[in-house]
């Protein structure tokens, strides 16, 4: 892991003691398939992760609950499955894993931050997302890609209200099962506090105005709109007070409504690159990402689609599901339209 020009206060680096990693791993070895009863599995994983040393447990809890906490945290020395099996080729769940340790780690960390949720148009509503390169999606601005730089973005959610930054996850948790063989893949995180500290005042003023329309996520436009753009109502990119700004950027395209807005958005992207933290995720590591305090990106990397490619598992997490209850499906109170 390396960090660039960003302030250390916006990045946290946490590690489990060896004995605790082993103890949690033993507890998770007997975890049944979480998809059979996700609420029971989440409760069990929460129980297991309550074993963390108090200071480490507090650090993760504080990451999720305090406004001035870092926007991204690396958690190292996590337990892993005895056998991972081949990286899935289709973006779906893997086959051949020896158990559900990685899923338990993901749910345990997610439960300390809030409530995992699914979205029907993202990974078919599954709560645990397998993020892998998929043949045919190499050059898309989606998690299927590998051959392009995945632009700095927030994970947003299409919403019929026209605002894609309201029902989106508050946090992402990314757990690494397998790194890319060549070690090329880099995950970046640019904190809005660092971004605002570098941008000139005229660009900040424009970015805080409703001069942009966000395109819906690629998974939505692909599955629902036949690949056509589905744009939000005009929105600002930056919002909130100067001390605790929020940022929302679509990976699948941002339409600036005038020339000045376009120039300000280009300046924003350049600034993201200059202040970003860089992480090369490895097995036994997870990244906690605040999806409102900052934006994330990923470098290009070689994908061979041979079962040995990079493999992350991801959750979407909300502090509360109450304020998006209008989106809940009749079949599952954690899965939303």
Q: Pick the closest to residue 129 from 328, 255, 283, 314 (CA basis).
A: 314
Contact of 132 with 310, CB cutoff 8 Å: yes
136: left (phi over 0), alpha (psi -120 to 50) or beta: left
Sequence-distant (≥ 6) Cβ neighbours of residue 84 within 8 angstroms: 94, 96, 97, 98, 102, 177, 178, 283, 311
Contact of 130 with 315, CB cutoff 8 Å: no
- Please tell me the distance from the alpha carbon of residue 2 to that of residue 136, in angstroms, as a whole number: 31
pTM for the whole thing? 0.95
Tens-digit pLDDT string for the chain (337 aa): 333 444 557 899 999 999 999 999 999 999 999 999 999 999 999 999 999 999 999 999 999 999 999 999 999 999 999 999 999 999 999 999 999 999 999 999 999 999 999 999 999 999 999 999 999 999 999 999 999 999 999 999 999 999 999 999 999 999 999 999 999 999 999 999 999 999 999 999 999 999 999 999 999 999 999 999 999 999 999 999 889 999 999 999 999 999 999 999 999 999 999 999 999 999 999 999 999 999 999 999 999 999 999 999 999 999 999 999 999 999 899 999 9
Q: What is the pLDDT of residue 8?
A: 55
Distance (Å) of CA 331 to CA 42, 82, 145, 327, 328: 18, 34, 31, 12, 9
Q: What is the pLDDT of residue 242?
A: 83
Where are the alpha helices (H) located in the chain, listed in sequence order? 18-28, 38-49, 54-65, 101-113, 192-198, 201-207, 218-223, 259-275
The full set of domain ranges for the chain reads 2-182+280-331
- Please tell me the distance from the alpha carbon of residue 318 to that of residue 173, in angstroms, as a whole number: 11
Pairing status of strand 311-318 against strand 129-131: antiparallel
Task: Report the DSSP beta bridge partners of residue 11.
Answer: 72
Task: Report the DSSP beta bridge partners of residue 12.
Answer: 73
Is the domain defined by 2-182+280-331 classed in CATH 3.30.830.10?
A: no
Q: What is the pLDDT of residue 91?
A: 94
Q: What is the pLDDT of residue 201?
A: 97
Report, in this order, helix, strand and coil percent for the chain, each rounded to 5. Answer: 30, 25, 45
């Amino acid at each position: 892991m390396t960090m660039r020009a960003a302030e250390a206060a916006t990045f946290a680096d946490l590690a489990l003691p060896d004995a605790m990693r082993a103890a949690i791993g033993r507890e998770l070895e007997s975890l049944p398939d979480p998809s059979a009863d996700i609420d029971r599995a989440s409760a069990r994983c929460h129980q297991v992760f309550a074993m963390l040393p108090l200071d480490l447990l507090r650090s993760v809890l504080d990451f999720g609950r305090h406004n001035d906490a870092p926007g991204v945290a690396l958690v190292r020395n996590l337990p892993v499955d005895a056998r991972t099996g081949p990286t899935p080729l289709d973006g779906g769940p893997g086959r051949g894993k020896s158990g559900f340790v990685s899923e338990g780690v993901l749910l345990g960390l997610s439960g300390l931050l809030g409530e995992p949720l699914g979205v029907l148009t993202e990974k078919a509503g599954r709560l645990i997302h397998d993020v892998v390169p998929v043949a045919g999606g190499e050059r898309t601005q989606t998690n299927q890609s590998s051959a392009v730089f995945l632009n700095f973005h927030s994970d947003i959610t299409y919403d019929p209200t026209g605002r894609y930054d309201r029902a989106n996850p508050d946090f992402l948790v990314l757990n690494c099962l397998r790194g890319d063989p060549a070690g090329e893949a880099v995950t970046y995180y640019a904190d809005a506090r660092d971004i605002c500290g570098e941008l000139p005042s005229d660009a900040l003023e424009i970015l805080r105005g409703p001069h942009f329309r966000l395109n819906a996520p690629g998974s939505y436009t692909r599955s629902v709109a036949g690949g056509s753009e589905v744009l939000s109502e005009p929105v600002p990119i930056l919002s909130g007070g100067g001390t605790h700004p929020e940022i929302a950027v679509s990976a699948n395209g941002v339409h600036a409504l005038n020339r000045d807005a376009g120039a300000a958005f280009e300046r924003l992207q350049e600034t993201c690159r200059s202040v970003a933290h860089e992480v090369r995720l490895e097995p036994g590591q997870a990244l906690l990402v605040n999806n409102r305090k900052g934006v994330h990106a990923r470098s290009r990397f070689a994908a061979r689609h041979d079962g040995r490619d990079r493999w992350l598992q991801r959750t979407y997490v909300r502090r509360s599901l109450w304020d998006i209850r209008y989106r809940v499906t009749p079949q599952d109170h954690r899965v939303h339209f």
